[in-house]
């Protein structure tokens, strides 16, 4: 009973802190904002989204080889970097809500594939490690329990030492969801319910993917159209949040 009481208190405190963080950083409006240097952020920290597993969990892929943490931190503050990452995470949350409606059941978790192919210690500079720590802390503190699985693939031996440092910022429950896979990582994903059609071509799949920048813009456009008021065209009232098949024809369409 004491354990349950302490757990409830911790959960209540965590929720309160998350709500305060969202209010202080304007997170509820972040998808409607154009954050400065978004092109630089997405070029230096490219994130791709692919298909879904059989339960509807969205697949997010990041490749360390494509990340330029030192350059990014030299041209942008850590606070602004975290703000950009928050915008990406909020777009992902919105995409899960869309999928929940489409699939008819709640989808609130996602899958991360972290590819470390061609990694050397120079790729894991102090700036890159610091940046990863910031982003891991963001996910752990503000997007608690949203991770279904994380696959760390093609990890060289040198990463083991780095992982010991990064792991200090990760919740124990999250650590249990992380899988280090060898050369047969695709087989492990197939066993876990991820079809080849949901994986990128370089993994042997066929999904073309969507960049984080494109996802943010798509979600923003969808939210804008849903927020538009009724339009009057003659005697026809048009509501833009209805399915296309139910809308009246728009002028100039």
pLDDT in tens, 105-125: 999 999 999 998 876 666 667
Share of the chain above pLDDT 90, in %: 56
- What confidence tens digit (pLDDT) does each residue in 155-168 have? 887 777 777 777 77
Q: How many whole angstroms from its chain centre is CA 100?
A: 16
Structural tokens at position 219: 């979600």
Q: Give DSSP secondary structure letters for 51-80.
A: EE-TT-PEEEEEEGGG--HHHHHHHS-HHH
pLDDT of the residue at 229 = 53
pLDDT of the residue at 224 = 64
pTM > 0.85: no
Q: Specify the range with the lowest mean pLDDT, choosing from 178-182, 183-187, 229-233.
A: 229-233
pLDDT of the residue at 166 = 74
Share of the chain above pLDDT 70, in %: 83
Q: What is the mean pLDDT of residues 91-114?
A: 96
- What confidence tens digit (pLDDT) does each residue in 27-70 have? 999 999 999 999 999 999 999 999 999 999 999 999 988 888 88
Cα–Cα distance between 21 and 25 in angstroms, integer? 6
- Can you tell me which residue has the tokens 């047969």? 184
The residues pairing with 107 across neighbouring beta strands, listed in sequence order, are: none
- Cα torsion 115, 76, 30, 43 to 10°: value is -40
86, 138 Cβ separation under 8 angstroms: yes
Largest CA distance in the chain: 70
Structural tokens at position 216: 């943010």
**For residue 198, pLDDT beyond 50:** yes
154, 116 Cβ separation under 8 angstroms: yes
**175 Cβ contact list (under 8 Å, min separation 6):** 167
């Amino acid at each position: 009973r004491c354990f349950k009481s302490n757990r409830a208190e911790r959960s209540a405190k965590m929720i309160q802190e998350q709500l305060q963080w969202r209010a202080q950083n304007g997170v509820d409006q972040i998808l409607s904002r154009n954050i400065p240097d978004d092109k630089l952020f997405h070029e230096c920290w490219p994130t791709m989204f692919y298909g879904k597993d059989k339960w509807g969990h969205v697949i997010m892929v990041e490749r360390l080889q494509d990340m330029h943490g030192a350059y990014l931190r030299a041209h942008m503050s850590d606070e602004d970097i975290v703000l950009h990452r928050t915008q990406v995470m909020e777009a992902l949350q919105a995409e899960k809500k869309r999928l929940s409606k489409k699939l008819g059941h709640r989808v609130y978790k996602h899958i991360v594939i972290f590819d470390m192919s061609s990694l050397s210690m120079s790729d894991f500079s102090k700036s890159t490690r610091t940046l990863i720590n910031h982003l891991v802390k963001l996910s752990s503190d503000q997007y608690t329990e949203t991770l279904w699985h994380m696959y760390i693939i093609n990890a060289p031996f040198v990463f083991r030492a780095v992982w010991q440092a990064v792991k200090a910022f990760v919740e124990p429950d999250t650590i249990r969801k992380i899988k280090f896979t060898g050369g047969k990582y695709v087989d492990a994903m197939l066993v876990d319910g991820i079809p080849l059609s949901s994986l990128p071509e370089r993994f042997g799949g066929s999904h073309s993917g969507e960049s984080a920048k494109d996802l943010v813009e798509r979600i923003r456009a969808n939210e804008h159209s849903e927020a538009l008021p009724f339009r009057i065209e003659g005697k026809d009232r048009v509501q833009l949040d209805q399915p296309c098949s139910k809308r009246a024809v728009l002028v100039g369409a």
